[in-house]
Amino acid sequence: MKFDKPATDNPIDQLKVVGKPVDRVDGRLKTTGTAPYAYERHDVVPNQAYGYIVGSAISKGRIVSMDLTAAKAAPGVLAIVTAKNAGKLGKGNFNTAPLLGGPEISHYHQAIGVVVAETFEQARAAANLVRVEYKRTKGAFDLEAMKDKAEPAKSIAGGGTSDSKVGDFAKGFANAPVQFDATYRTAYESHCMMEPHATIASWQDDQLTFWTSNQMIAWAVGDMAETLGIPKEKVRAISPFIGGGFGGKLFLRADALMAALGARAARRPVKVTLQRALMPNNTTHRAATIQRVRIGATKDGKITAIAHESWSGDQPGGKPETAAMQTRSLYAGADRMTAHRLAVLDLPEANAMRAPGEAPGLAVLEIVMDEMAEKLGMDPIEFRILNDTQVVPDNPSKPQSSDPQSKKPEQQTKHIPHPPFSKRQLVECLRLGAKRFGWEKRNPQPAKVRDGKWLVGIGVAAAFRDNLLTKSAARVRLDKRGVVTVETDMTDIGTGSYTIIAQTAAEMMGVPLDKVVVRLGDSSFPVSCGSGGQWGGNNSTAGVYSACVKLRQAVEEKLGLEAGQGVFADGHVRSGSRNVSLAEAAGDQGLVAEDFIEYGDLDKQFHQSTFGAHFVEVAVDSFTGETRVRRMLAVCACGRILNPKTARSQVIGAMTMGVGAALMEELAVDKRIGYFVNHDLATYEVPVHADLPPQEVIFLDETDPISSPMKAKGVAELGICGVAAAVANAIYNATGIRVRNYPITLDKLIDRLPEPA
């Protein structure tokens, strides 16, 4: 179905099942440990051997020689694959550096081989016997040092332009009575999902099947085929359960490729999990940024000029962190510019992590708004509200993009320089949040509120993240028991896809939830949007909606009912005097329908975004500078909430990640050697339960008919956007100390805290 006109009333609007906070339909499997995750698929093929990945010990240079003698002779070893015997390999569309290195090495812990053995322990022991002689070459590992050599980014994730310009920023800024100009830094971060990348690969003749943990099944299949140089049709990926991804599993990674190569060499199914300590350097991470923001305003707080520039680095051929993007849409102002500069670095490959661009971008922009409000003597909420805009102030026309992550080349629609937002309730989020959080009790004077030894403060930040529309297909079956089965290669990475898809099908077909079976994550199913960029919920359910519309038609047709007149409810279809059970309608053969949602140019006519406001209260230990978050509230306006329970889980998880980014998460670079040193969970700290207070989430009652027939939008990434800045602003309010360099660890506060009595 093509969605090119705003949605009108449809069966989803009944909200009998959709919109209800139902428990996860896969909850029992998860809580009983019976959900089949990739590495535990002992059932799928017999005789699985174990692969262990050898990671490069250097960051840049080449392998001079590899001595495999001892490793080959070690007990249980079946095969060893390195670049030397892997055969010719291509590189996936979504990979920047090759997944298998050698002789050239692109980054630390790049896979240089896999050792396959009868047991995991044997594979690991043998891997340690591989002797490698390297020749190091000099690399660039320091963004700060490379900043001035950074260039305009040629390619932007999702397509789009590196730079944008409206009016004359330099002039507007120079003429502004109140000016602000500061530079900030955000850190390298690691996804650190619970389940490491893992794959079991099995060949049957020239047909490869791999059970894996991946957010984007079709991308994984495509890049596996591309890398191995075999047709896509010969590759099947299965990934029904995923223990978290956060963008770290958007792409084919070394676990999958090395399992496939290992299985081919050993002539046996092979399973590989990426060692936890390899994950930060072997896989992707969120790039660090340097960001400069300038704002010019009138004395009464109207922004007249705004500029946001961001510098980040990546491997040769990589992409920038798009940290300045949201500044094109968030606040008004006539004279403006944004720019992304990309430095070539030899650190591991940077790529998307939850809310790429906006997460670090708002971490900065929303401190700037706080600083500017203070400079203007304004309340930071009022300052934001005053500069709200209902149209996009800066919407550069997109070039045709060869980027596989971007949508198909645009249709010939006229470029609209200032499209209206389909729905924008930022002001409502800020106002309601302020009321609920008790903003009026905030002392605008920093460092004035004490609770014993604690310095207490509250902070706010706006949340913003675009809503992305992409094609998504599904197949729906109705059987003679009246059971509706949905099949789509959509993934559930812990987000709740199973549940909202089941709710969608139940609503559409008029059956209770327990009459719906959802099957996900298999490349033999129709291609969905996959999970990423907070596009999964809206697009995948819209695809299921489309397929269900077709199935309803098939039912009507089969029963000879007038098209579109059937009322689907209580497991029956009614039309006029006829009332037939769906089981009967399906009959012995059953009925099948398949369709997809695809989009017209509504997202060009209207800009689609999600909005929110984050409120945070912190207490800072006046002696040690330790920050403890005391309260958090997020108010979100992001279309129809398909399931308030799973949506809330997404938002509080994202808020937790935002606290991590604000207070502790940082991959530390050893600039001499060129790698992330703290590459395990003991040394890369993410928040633990004790770091989080009770978190509150409010969803505004909103539907967005421009978005899809579901009238829903993304929510999972909105939840992290702005959180770090809200924490930073709360720390400032508590202590009077402005830290412009994330994470805000105690060493950045301690010199400026009041002397202990």
Partner 1 sequence: MKPFTFERATSGADAAAAAERHPGAKFVAGGTNLLDLMKLEIETPTHLIDVNSLGLDKIEKTPEGGLRIGALVRNTELAADENVRRDYGVLSQALVAGASGQLRNMATTAGNLLQRTRCPYFYDTNQPCNKRNPGTGCGAIGGYSRQHAVIGVSDACIATHPSDMAVAMRVLDATVETIRPDGSQRKIPIAEFHRLPGDKPHIDTVLMAGELITAVTLPKPIGGRQIYRKVRDRASFAFALVSVAAIVQRDGSGRVALGGVAHKPWRIEAAEAEMPNGAKAVVARLLAGAKPTNENAFKIKLVERALASVLAEAKGA
Give the residue numbers annotated as catalytic, written as ranges: 717
Q: Are 39 and 637 in contact (CB under 8 A)?
A: no
Closest CA to 276 of 531, 53, 532, 42: 53
What is each CA distance from 370 to 46, 230, 341, 731, in whole angstroms? Answer: 60, 54, 25, 12
**Binds partner 1 (CB under 8 A): choice among 663, 697, 716, 721:** 663
Scan residues 396-455 and list those touching partner 1 (CB under 8 A).
453
Does 138 interact with partner 1 (rule: CB under 8 A)? no
Residue 630 or 645: which CB sits closer to partner 1?
Answer: 630
Residue 199 or 656: which CB sits closer to partner 1?
Answer: 656
Does 623 interact with partner 1 (rule: CB under 8 A)? yes
**Binds partner 1 (CB under 8 A): choice among 1, 57, 344, 559:** 57
Choose the binding region for partner 1 from 251-259, 509-517, 594-602, 687-695 (rule: CB under 8 A).
687-695
Q: How far is the CB of 678 from partner 1 (least distance, A)?
A: 6
Pairing of strands 454-466, 609-621: antiparallel
Q: Are 338 and 325 in contact (CB under 8 A)?
A: yes
What sign for the dihedral angle of Cα 485, 470, 198, 680? negative
Scan residues 728-757 and list those touching partner 1 (CB under 8 A).
745-747, 750-751, 753, 756-757
Question: Whole-angstrom Cα distance, residue 145 to residue 531?
Answer: 36
Does 118 interact with partner 1 (rule: CB under 8 A)? no
Choose the binding region for partner 1 from 91-99, 124-132, 418-426, 521-529 (rule: CB under 8 A).
124-132
Does 163 interact with partner 1 (rule: CB under 8 A)? no
Does 485 interact with partner 1 (rule: CB under 8 A)? no
Choose the binding region for partner 1 from 30-38, 291-299, 406-414, 682-690 (rule: CB under 8 A).
682-690
Structure tokens at 552: 């309803």
Q: Are 152 and 322 in contact (CB under 8 A)?
A: no
Residue 689: strand pairing partners = none
Question: Whole-angstrom Cα distance, residue 596 to residue 472?
Answer: 5
State the number of binding residues for partner 1 (CB under 8 A): 41
Task: List Cβ neighbours of 103 (8 Å cut-off, separation of 6 or more).
Answer: 62, 63, 64, 83
Choose the binding region for partner 1 from 32-40, 117-125, 495-503, 564-572 (rule: CB under 8 A).
117-125
Question: Whole-angstrom Cα distance, residue 698 to residue 720?
Answer: 15
Structure tokens at 637: 């306006």
Q: How far is the CB of 333 from partner 1 (least distance, A)?
A: 37
Does 672 interact with partner 1 (rule: CB under 8 A)? yes
Please report, as a single letter, which amino acid is at residue 241. Answer: F
What's the DSSP call for residue 640?
B
Residue 121 or 151: which CB sits closer to partner 1?
Answer: 121
**Binds partner 1 (CB under 8 A): choice among 685, 736, 738, 740:** 685
Residue 128 or 575: which CB sits closer to partner 1?
Answer: 128
Closest CA to 102 of 138, 52, 54: 54
Q: How far is the CB of 690 from partner 1 (least distance, A)?
A: 4
Q: Which ranges constitute the DSSP H helices of 579-703? A: 582-586, 602-605, 644-663
Question: Whole-angstrom Cα distance, residue 282 to residue 468?
Answer: 29
Does 679 interact with partner 1 (rule: CB under 8 A)? yes
Structure tokens at 690: 């004790």
Please report, as a single letter, which amino acid is at residue 723. Answer: V
Contact flags string 265-284 toward partner 1, x per CB under 8 A: ------------x-------
602: left (phi over 0), alpha (psi -120 to 50) or beta: alpha
Residue 601 or 685: which CB sits closer to partner 1?
Answer: 685
**Binds partner 1 (CB under 8 A): choice among 165, 574, 628, 630:** 628
Interface with partner 1 by CB under 8 A: which residues?
57-58, 121, 124-125, 128, 277, 453, 621, 623-626, 628, 663-664, 668-670, 672-673, 677-680, 682-683, 685, 687-691, 745-747, 750-751, 753, 756-757
